[in-house]
Structure 1
Amino acid sequence: MSNNTGDDIRICVIQSQQRQLVLDFLRIHYYREEPLTIGTEPKQQDQADEDFNISNIDHGTCLMATDAQSETIVGVLLAGPKGPEEADHLFEEAAVEGSSKWGTILKFLACVERDANVCQRFGVQKVLHAHVIGVDTKVRGKNIGGRLMSELKVLGKQLGYELLTADCTSYYSAKMCERLGWECINTVYYKDYVDENKKPVFVLDPPHECCKTFAVRL
């Protein structure tokens, strides 16, 4: 898969040998702003977090946008498969990770997955889930994120997936999915997700107030 979008931006499937390049990009243009990462201490992401996200490249379902002239990465979208048992799987992984930063994030995502219940809600078995989207700060406002999502929708359909989903932890990614016409099926407000002392687990500045789950049939 390779697509030139008409303005010198090329979108293609990420190859395994590009893992380090992609990780280096995300450390600058994703993790430093991702709400679940910066909303808990320490603000630095765990190694296990990076390992999980990058492992999705092996599924052949991850895309990157590059400048056609310089060949530099300007956008990355990491996605992978999930099925009806995803919430249980996430809760199990969260228990293994314990009180680590990644464990805290996994537990939240497990609750989000359980509440969204996408497989039962849509009557599907094979779902493609968008985990990560990051765009170079210098080229934001050019709809690169939206184009990556649109290309992922095409790829997912080609690969036989029935549904494409995303848990938008960021206000901006949620707005992007709304513009694309995806259906919002669940919302979890950060102020309502509290620890045993009734204090919010994730403390964030506006405009990030909630995690919205979006879905679109393929």
Structure 2
Amino acid sequence: MSTHFGSKDGILIRIMKLEDYENLKVFMGGNFYNGEPLCAFSGEDVQQCCEKEDNDYHISMIEQGTSLLAINENDGGRIVGFVLAGSQLSSDLEKHRKEADEMEKHSWGRIAVFLSEVERKVNIFERYGVSKLLYSHMTNVDASMRGKGLGTRLAAALMELGRSKGFPLMAAYCTSFYSARQKESMGMECIYEHAYADYKDAEGQVVFNPPAPHTHVRVLVISL
């Protein structure tokens, strides 16, 4: 299969390579972490919270050949969007629970605990009777490119890639209202949602308070 997924208006989508990662980290710092609702309004530099663990996880996804990069061919190959995605197995639910429980009590740790609880409650593997799925972990588009359909192109390319690799399903845990809306527009089904206002700590305090319209985490799935 080709490693490229077409160029439109000078923006090429291709499979991510390991040598892209250092530039991707810079892009994520300036675009993803300050825009994703739970990170952006945490009051912490979330990218620094678990940098080594995140690096290892992201690199493992890139090594699978399941992550995508959008580059501007008219601007020296500048990154303008990406998807980090990888294979997920039913055994990963317990693995993620243990990893989240062992994290420090910073913003990224709290997010990991929350998402682990959500994925175990939903249990897509049991619900759909599958042993693996393609997990769309992070998607982000440069602010200058939003509203131009690039997020939709990235999602469509990831679905195509997932089918070529034999994944029965693709799933995404959308913490952003806009991300969930975009994926629903492509036929992904929302099978679960959890209001942030209902997620509280041991003292009864709401853990996450992003502004509207980011009021829920939503789990979306599509058959490939």
State the TM-score, normalized to the length of structure 1: 0.94
Pick from 166, 174, 184: which aligns with 1:178? 184
What amino acid is the match of 1:40? S
Q: Which residue of 1 aligns with 2:9?
A: 7
Alignment gaps of 5+ in structure 2: none
What amino acid is the match of 1:106? A
Q: Which residue of 2 aligns with 1:207?
A: 213
Q: Which residue of 1 aligns with 2:42?
A: 40
Large movers: runs of 4+ above 4 Å: none
Distance 1:95 1:80, change over 3 A: same
Q: Which residue of 2 aligns with 1:113?
A: 119
Q: Residue 133 of structure 1 aligns to a residue in which SS?
A: strand
CA deviations over 1:7-52 (Å, ceiling 9, x no partner): 2211000100111011111111111011221243424332246425
Asked if structure 2 preserves the Cα contact closer than 8 Å seen for 1:125 and 1:162, the reply is no
5 Å-filtered alignment, 1:127-146, equals 127-146=133-152
How many residues align? The count is 218
Deviating more after overlay: 193-202 vs 95-104: 95-104
Distance (Å, rounded) in 1 between the aligned partners of 2:13 and 2:156: 11
> How far 1:112 sits from its partner (Å)?
1.2
Asked if structure 1 preserves the Cα contact closer than 8 Å seen for 2:88 and 2:132, the reply is yes
Q: Which residue of 1 aligns with 2:166?
A: 160
What amino acid is the match of 2:115? L
Distance (Å, rounded) in 1 between the aligned partners of 2:67 and 2:213: 28
Q: Which residue of 2 aligns with 1:67?
A: 72
Alignment gaps of 5+ in structure 1: none
What amino acid is the match of 2:55? D
Q: Percent identity?
A: 33
Distance (Å, rounded) in 2 between the aligned partners of 1:94 and 1:111: 10
Asked if structure 2 preserves the Cα contact closer than 8 Å seen for 1:53 and 1:132, the reply is no
Structure 1 residue 19 corresponds to structure 2 residue 24: no
Q: Which residue of 1 aligns with 2:132?
A: 126
CA deviations over 1:126-177 (Å, ceiling 9, x no partner): 2110111110101110111111011000101111111100000001101101
